Amino acid sequence: MAAPTTSIRLTRTALPTASRALARPFPPALRAYHSYEHDPTPPYPPTETAILSDALTHLPTHGFTHESLRLGARDAGYLDVSTQLFPKGAFELVRYHLVRERLDLKERVQFPDNGGKSLGMGSKIRTLVLERLRANEPVVHRLQEALALMSLASNIPPSIAELARLSDEMWFLAGDTSVDTSWYTKRASLSSVYAATEVFMTQDKSAGFAETEQFLDRRLADLRTIGGAVGSVSQWVGYTGWSAINVLRSKGMRM
The percent of residues above 70 in pLDDT, for the chain, comes to 69
Mean pLDDT throughout 15-22? 32
Q: What is the pLDDT of residue 12?
A: 35
Q: What is the pLDDT of residue 10?
A: 38
pLDDT tens readout for residues 57-95: 999 999 999 999 999 999 999 999 999 999 999 999 999
Please tell me the distance from the alpha carbon of residue 238 to that of residue 241, in angstroms, as a whole number: 5
Q: What is the pLDDT of residue 237?
A: 46
pLDDT tens readout for residues 145-191: 999 999 999 999 999 999 999 999 999 999 988 888 888 888 889 99
Residue 242 pLDDT exceeds 50: yes
Q: 91-109+119-233, what's its fold? A: Tetracycline Repressor; domain 2 (1.10.357)
Sequence-distant (6+) residues with CB within 8 A of 86 are 48, 51, 69, 92, 93
Exposure string over 77-106, b if 16+ CB within 10 A, otherwise e: ebeeebbebbeeebbbbbbbbbbbbbbebb
Three-class secondary structure assignment of 91-123 = HHHHHHHHHHHHHHHHHHCCCCCCCCCCCCHHH
Mean pLDDT throughout 11-32? 35
Top-confidence residue, 230 or 69: 69
Please tell me the distance from the alpha carbon of residue 76 to that of residue 54, in angstroms, as a whole number: 6
Predicted confidence band of residue 27 (pLDDT cuts 50, 70, 90): very low
Sequence ranges of the domains in the chain = 91-109+119-233
**Cβ–Cβ < 8 Å for 239, 196:** yes
Predicted confidence band of residue 9 (pLDDT cuts 50, 70, 90): very low
Q: What is the pLDDT of residue 253?
A: 44
Residue 228 pLDDT exceeds 50: no
**Cβ–Cβ < 8 Å for 211, 204:** yes
Mean pLDDT throughout 214-236? 66
Where is 228: in which H helix or E strand? none
Least-confidence region, from 35-44, 134-143, 245-254: 245-254
